[in-house]
């Protein structure tokens, strides 16, 4: 059979690379609504999905787009949507439904400056806390932040794998700059790409408990039509999936929802370290801002400032242990992000008495490395 | 020994609709895929699909590129007067200023290379190909990308069925550039007495 993966070297933008990553991961459904700067994801995947036997639907809005990918996931396929801030806001109610029904799906947010309509064609990273807490209730979520078109490809595959492994929505928190940036993207041979599919139930169909967790805390997931009883509800439910309005059931369900993420942090959290060994000051960054941070580290080192970089590839769950252990030996943290201090607050929470600083920006442009260097000099003075 | 960093920063700018981003993309693609270097293209544009200010920034390097925006440009390619006014100060003193002759009047402070790209495209019957003519010209004037890499990138970036026409446009621009360089050389060695 001919491979669906476009193996080879390409010069494509982040949005297109994201669509190719989805195809390589085995995505077979995309429901979306076009919005700058995420439109190219939909555009590319609308061409590609029919070629691989998948389905693309342009829905009437982002509420429907998000709902459609849940429905598709329950038919047994891998599904995705892509949007930007205004659409992400509309999707939030259904994100909660995906969490509680443990529906694997991938949601791409190519962030632009807000609030509201904001600057449609200019980048930001100000939806990071919305990604964490945008839907009501307590929950854990997984969010990844790609820094390049290559990572838009690679991390889209990772996002699908994590979402299938843990039966949870996974966010790809990109931004306009990475989404619209073109670079060389190397797509490996299909057989070298690791893909994961959700555990499927086996055994007697009449005794099946759709929310009885397996060894890693995750229950096998049947597709509607497989013959297993399937009851999918946003209400608090027991192992059968039936609504039970009791505190006891709520406790059990919440323990499972939170536990499957919290007990697997080592598998989920991805970070990259650059020149941290002897660093006095650590720059914490993610997405496009990590490229500023990287440049700042190189320039700082030339000036004799011992700066290092901790790049968050996984932003949620937050790598708190990493910050705690660094805090014991460094003189300060600078968080570089295109917002007015979101992830910076998380760094602060785990930095103890070690000072934390923000190299932030209200949105619409990348942060220049000089801003980071200025803060570093002041911090070490 | 680490290799010396050889980095070229380019700004291509004009109005939305002139194919500015495509020109930047072809340049970046030629460098990355044809010449096997690192390259990054970022773009900025307004909410309008045509007529607004548009800018493509390309960095070409023999090393991984982190910060993706141009700080000071080695080449500034302008296809509108307003774009020229906006970006002229970002060009290095020894950098290349390249313009569409009929659309941009430089202030005369520095040497520049110009080509009537839009007029030539109209003569070819496709005004839309001004960007490709400009690319041919840029390829001849500068050492940003090799001719073969640029041609290959043109071929794989333009709509199917228009490859031949676009390559012809590229060649027109390239040849114009080659003769322009010869003219400058002659002028520099005093072989002709006229000022152009």
Q: pLDDT by residue (tens digit) across A187-232?
A: 999 999 999 999 999 888 888 998 998 888 899 999 999 999 889 9
Report the distance separating Cα B103 and Cα B122, nearest Å.
Answer: 14
**Would you list the DSSP string of A63-110?**
HHHHHHHHHHHHTT-EEEEEE-HHHHHHHHHHHHHHHHTT--EEEEEE
Residue B21 counted as domain residue:
yes
Q: Are the Cβ atoms of B25 and A298 closer than 8 angstroms?
A: no
Those residues of chain A whose CB sits closer than 8 Å to some CB in chain B are 9-11, 13, 36, 120-122, 177, 180-184, 288, 291-292, 294-295, 298, 366, 368-369
The residue behind tokens 């806001």 is A89
Is the backbone peptide bond immediately before A237 cis, with ω within 30 degrees of 0? no
Q: How confident is the model over B129-185, as pLDDT tens digits?
A: 999 999 999 999 999 999 999 999 999 999 999 999 999 999 999 999 999 999 988
Residue B112 belongs to what domain range?
7-188
- pLDDT, tens digit, 9 for 90 and up, residues A60-102: 999 999 999 999 999 999 999 999 999 999 999 999 999 999 9
Answer for the pair B73, B83: CB distance below 8 angstroms, yes or no: no
Q: What is the overall mean pLDDT for chain A?
A: 96
pLDDT of residue A180: 97
Specify the DSSP class assigned to residue B160: T
Site from B20, B30, B44, B153 to mutate, A interface, most A CB atoms within 10 angstroms: B44
Chain B residue numbers touching A182 (CB-CB < 8 A):
25, 28-29, 40-41
pLDDT at B191 over 90: no
Query: What span, in angstroms and rounded, lies between the C-alpha atoms of A378 and A372?
Result: 10
Q: Say which of B40, B44, B69 has its CB closest to residue A183.
A: B40
pLDDT at res. B185: 82
Average pLDDT, chain B: 92
Share of chain B above pLDDT 70, in %: 93
pLDDT digits (tens, 9 = 90+) for A91-145: 999 999 999 999 999 999 999 999 999 999 999 999 999 999 999 999 999 999 9
The C-alpha of B45 sits at a distance from chain A's nearest C-alpha, in angstroms, of 7
- Domain tally for chain B? 1
Cα distances (angstroms) measured from residue A207 to each of A203, A210, A314: 8, 10, 38
**Residue range A41-65, pLDDT digits in tens:** 999 999 999 999 999 999 999 999 9
Place of tokens 């300060």: A332
How far does A146 lie from chain B, in Å, by closest CA? 13
Chain A neighbors of B40, CB-CB under 8 A: 181-183
Q: What three-state secondary structure class fits A225?
A: coil
Per the domain annotation, does B55 fall within a domain?
yes
Lookup result for tokens 């429907």 = A64
For residue B186, name the pLDDT band (cuts at 50, 70, 90).
confident
Helix (H) or strand (E) holding A180: helix A176-180
End-to-end Cα, chain B, rounded Å: 46
B14-25 residue pLDDT tens: 998 899 999 999
C-alpha B56/C-alpha B26 separation (Å) is 11
Residue B196 has pLDDT above 80, yes or no: no
pTM, two decimals, is: 0.96
Measure CB to CB from residue B33 to each of A11, A120, A295 and give the nearest one: A11
Contacts of B41 in chain A (CB under 8 A): 13, 181-183
Q: How far apart are CA B180 and CA A110, in angstroms?
A: 44
How distant is the Cα of B183 from the closest Cα of chain A, in angstroms? 35
Mean pLDDT of A137-166: 98
Name all domains of chain A by residue range, CATH numbers in brackets.
8-192 (3.40.50.970), 272-380 (3.40.50.920)
Number of H helices, E strands in chain B: 6, 6
pLDDT tens-digit map of A335-351: 999 999 999 999 999 99
Cβ–Cβ below 8 Å for A181 and B33: no
Residue B188: predicted pLDDT: 76
Asked if residue B121 is part of any domain, the answer here is yes
Is the Cβ pair A184, B47 closer than 8 Å? no
In a domain, B57, yes or no: yes
Q: Is residue B195 part of a domain?
A: no
Provide the CATH number for the domain around residue B109: 3.40.920.10
Say yes or no: B28 contacts chain A, CB-CB below 8 A.
Answer: yes
- Are A171 and A82 contacting, i.e. CB atoms less than 8 angstroms apart? no
Name the residue among B41, B45, B47 with its Cβ closest to that of A182.
B41
- With beta carbons under 8 A apart, name residues in chain B contacting A295: 66-67
Q: Which of the residue ranges A15-19, A186-190, B186-190 would you say has the lowest mean pLDDT? A: B186-190
Shortest CA distance from B30: residue in chain A: A11
Straight-line distance from the first to the last Cα atom of chain A, in angstroms, rounded to the nearest whole number: 63
Residue B1 lies in a domain: no
What is the arithmetic mean of pLDDT over A242-252?
A: 97
Residue B2 lies in a domain: no
pLDDT at B194: 44
B109 CB-near residues (< 8 Å, 6+ apart): none
Give me the pLDDT at residue B3, please.
62
Closest partner residue to B42 (CB to CB) among A180, A184, A295 is A180
Paired residues of A172 in beta bridges: A108, A144
Q: In this complex, which of B25, B44, B46 lies closest to A182 when CB atoms are compared? A: B25
Q: Tell me which residue in A11, A121, A181 faces B46 most closely, judged by beta carbons.
A: A121
**Position A289 pLDDT exceeds 60:** yes
> Is A246's pLDDT higher than 50?
yes
CA distance A266 to A278: 24
| Per-residue model confidence (pLDDT) at position B193 | 45
Over residues A301-305, mean pLDDT: 97
Number of neighbouring beta carbons within 10 Å of residue A263: 11
């Amino acid at each position: 059979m001919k491979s669906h993966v476009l193996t080879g070297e390409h010069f494509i933008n982040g949005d297109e690379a994201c669509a190719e990553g989805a195809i390589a991961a085995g995505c077979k459904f995309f429901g979306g609504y076009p919005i700058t700067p995420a439109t190219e994801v939909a555009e590319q995947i609308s061409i590609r999905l029919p070629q691989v036997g998948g389905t693309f639907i342009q829905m009437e809005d982002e509420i429907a787009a998000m709902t459609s990918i849940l429905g598709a996931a329950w038919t047994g396929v891998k599904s995705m949507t892509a949007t930007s801030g205004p659409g992400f806001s509309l999707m939030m109610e259904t994100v909660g439904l995906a969490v509680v029904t443990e529906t694997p799906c991938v949601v791409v947010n190519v962030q632009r400056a807000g609030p509201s309509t904001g600057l449609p064609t200019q980048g930001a990273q100000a939806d990071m806390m919305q990604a964490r807490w945008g839907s009501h209730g307590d929950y854990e979520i997984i969010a990844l932040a790609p820094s390049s078109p290559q990572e838009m490809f690679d991390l889209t595959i990772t996002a699908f794998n994590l979402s299938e492994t843990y039966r949870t929505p996974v966010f790809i928190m990109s931004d306009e700059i990475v989404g619209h940036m073109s670079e060389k993207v190397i797509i490996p041979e299909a057989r070298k790409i690791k893909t994961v599919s959700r555990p499927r139930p086996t055994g007697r169909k009449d005794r099946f408990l759709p929310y009885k967790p397996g060894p890693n805390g995750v229950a096998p997931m049947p597709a509607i039509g497989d013959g297993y009883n399937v009851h999918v509800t946003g209400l608090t439910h027991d192992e059968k999936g039936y609504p039970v309005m009791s505190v006891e059931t709520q406790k059990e369900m919440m323990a499972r929802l939170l536990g499957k993420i919290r007990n697997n942090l080592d598998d989920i959290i991805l970070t990259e370290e650059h020149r941290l060994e002897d660093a006095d000051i650590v720059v914490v960054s993610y997405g496009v801002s990590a490229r500023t941070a990287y440049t700042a580290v190189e320039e700082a080192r030339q000036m004799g400032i011992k700066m290092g970089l901790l790049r968050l590839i996984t932003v949620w769950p937050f790598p708190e242990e990493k910050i705690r252990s660094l805090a014991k030996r460094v003189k300060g943290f600078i968080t570089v992000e295109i917002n007015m201090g979101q992830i910076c607050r998380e760094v602060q929470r785990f930095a103890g008495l070690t000072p934390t600083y923000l190299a932030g920006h209200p949105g619409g442009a990348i942060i220049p490395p000089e801003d980071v260097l200025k803060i570093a000099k002041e911090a070490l003075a | 020994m680490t290799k010396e960093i050889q980095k070229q920063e380019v700004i291509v700018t004009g109005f939305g609709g002139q194919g500015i981003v495509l020109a930047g993309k072809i340049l970046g693609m030629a460098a990355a895929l044809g010449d096997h270097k690192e390259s990054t293209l970022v773009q900025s544009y307004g909410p309008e699909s045509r007529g607004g200010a548009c800018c493509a920034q390309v960095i070409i390097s023999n090393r991984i590129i982190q910060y993706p925006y141009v700080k000071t440009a080695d080449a500034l390619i302008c296809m509108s007067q307003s774009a020229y006014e906006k970006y002229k100060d970002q060009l290095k003193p020894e950098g290349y200023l390249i313009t569409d002759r009929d659309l941009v009047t430089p202030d005369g402070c520095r040497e520049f290379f110009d080509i009537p790209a839009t007029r030539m495209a109209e003569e070819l019957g496709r005004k839309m190909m001004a960007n490709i003519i400009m690319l041919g010209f840029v390829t001849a004037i500068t050492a940003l990308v090799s001719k073969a890499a640029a041609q290959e990138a043109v071929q794989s970036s333009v709509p199917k069925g228009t490859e031949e026409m676009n390559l012809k446009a590229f060649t027109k621009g390239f040849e114009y550039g080659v003769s322009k360089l010869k003219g400058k050389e002659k002028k520099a060695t005093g072989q002709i007495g006229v000022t152009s």
